[in-house]
Structures are given as structure tokens and as C-alpha cells.
Amino acid sequence: MKLYQLCGKDTDVCFSPYGWRAKLCLLHKGLNFEEVPMRFLEKEKIAHVSPQTIPVLDDGATSIVDSFAIAQYLEATYPEPDLFGGPVAAAQAPLLNRWVDQTLVVGMVQLVLIDIHNCLDTDNQAFFRETREKRFGCTLEEVMAGRDEKRDAFRKSLTPLRLVLAKTPYLSGSRPCWFDYAVFGTFMWPHVVSSYPLLAEDDPVYRWRERMFDLFEGTGRKAKRAF
């Protein structure tokens, strides 16, 4: 199996939240896979799929695009160990996946946008700046204005996670499963690109993230950071 992941100037710096989600699902399943790092402007590496978005998982002749589709493919193809945590949790996973995208991805991007830019090579920086400034309707630097206030709002938006963590060590109960990877994979994005402290150390989400860093022989903790 091959997992195509987004990387920075340094090909060991893999920062995509979606790439991390897919990678953590593969690790949960105990599958062997090769990681293929890819920059924004190296789409020729995934010319065999459509749409050309990453992550992509190649499993023999089968190619899967999109981290959630990869999770569902892995669960259907390699049932053990269970990834979603039963049929009810699996049915509700699309809602939670969207919650992660709408709450965490949207909340985080404005806190680390300039750091993502800074970990890219010159050509990819130009591409990133042009596409993101068009999307946000202002400069990358302007997006970063009021960073600390935005961080306060972001931390507040994590309340639903704290409600779960008040009762159980993981977001899926006594053991981590898909939802933990969806959320933790997303936290790997700011962790890899930025030294800006996102979470307060006394936050239950911080302590949960510490536990997640330790999984799979410390894969998250050992990940190369951009600075």
C-alpha cells in the first residue's frame, strides 16, 4: 500500500490533517504501507486519481481519495481491529467528520496559516499564497491578525470534546478509535507546522493529545516538525 501525503520543503515534514487521519487509520489496522510525500505542485504523483486531492491510498490496483473514504475503505476491506467502534458509531461518523472539519479545521487554519506558508519551498509558497489569499479575501498576514483572540475562541469551540473527555480517556471511550484519529490527525497539522501554543496545558484536550502522541510507538510525538 502507498499513502500519498502532503509535505513541505522538507519531504519529512508531513503536515496535512487529512493525511494524518488516513495514516492513523492505517496504523490502527496494523497494515504495512509506504508513505509517498508530495508537494502541492507535484500533482503528477497522483495523476492516476480523480479528483486529484490528497491523501490518496493505493492498495494494489485500488485507489481511494479522501481521508474519510480511506477510513471507510479500510474498515470494509480489513475489518479487524474495528475502526469505528460498532455500527451506531459508524453511522454517526460522517456527522462527526464534518464537525471536525467545520470546527477544528476552520478554527485552526487562521491560527497557523502563515506557518504553513513558511514550511514550503519558494514555488509552493507562491502557489499557497495566491490560492489562500484568494480564498480568504485578504493577505496571509491579515488572516493572522488577532491571533490570540482567535485562539481563545478556538479553545472555547472545543467544549464538546471536553464533555466526552470528562468521562472517558479517549474520544471513543476506553480505547482510541476513528474519532480520536480524526481529531488528533487534525491537531497534528498545527503541531507540525507551528510553534504557536494552541492548547493550554491544563486543558483536558491537551492531556488527551499527550496520550494520542504516545500511540503507535510515539508516531505523532516523533513526527518531524517544520521549525
Q: Is 177 in the site for a copy of itself (CB under 8 A)?
A: yes
Q: Is 79 in the site for a copy of itself (CB under 8 A)?
A: no
| 3-state secondary structure at position 81 | coil
The region of 54-62, 73-81, 134-142, 155-163 touching a copy of itself under the rule CB under 8 A is 155-163
DSSP 110-175: HHHHHHHHHTS-HHHHHHHHHHHHHHHTS-HHHHTTTHHHHHHHHHHHTHHHHHHHTT-SBTTBSS
The region of 4-12, 79-87, 203-211, 215-223 touching a copy of itself under the rule CB under 8 A is 79-87
Q: Are 130 and 140 in contact, with CB atoms under 8 Å apart?
A: no
Nearer to a copy of itself, 15 or 181 (CB): 181
Nearer to a copy of itself, 61 or 95 (CB): 95
Binding a copy of itself (rule: CB under 8 A), the pick from 168, 197, 221, 224 is: 168
Q: How far apart are CA 205 and CA 188, in angstroms?
A: 13
The region of 22-30, 40-48, 157-165, 187-195 touching a copy of itself under the rule CB under 8 A is 157-165
Binding a copy of itself (rule: CB under 8 A), the pick from 149, 174, 201, 217 is: 174
Q: How far apart are CA 197 and CA 187, in angstroms?
A: 11
129: buried, middle or exposed (CB in 10 Å: 19+, 13-18, 0-12)? middle
- The H or E element spanning position 57 is strand 56-59
The region of 31-39, 45-53, 85-93, 211-219 touching a copy of itself under the rule CB under 8 A is 85-93
Size of the site for a copy of itself (CB under 8 A): 30
| 3-state secondary structure at position 41 | coil
Where does residue 139 fall: left (phi above 0), alpha (psi -120 to 50 degrees), or beta otherwise? beta
Nearer to a copy of itself, 49 or 89 (CB): 89
Binding a copy of itself (rule: CB under 8 A), the pick from 43, 98, 135, 224 is: 98
Q: How far apart are CA 25 and CA 78, in angstroms?
A: 11
Please report how close the Cβ of residue 67 comes to a copy of itself at its closest, in angstroms. Answer: 15
Chain contacts with a copy of itself (rule: CB under 8 A): 84-92, 94-99, 159-161, 163-164, 166-168, 170-174, 177, 179
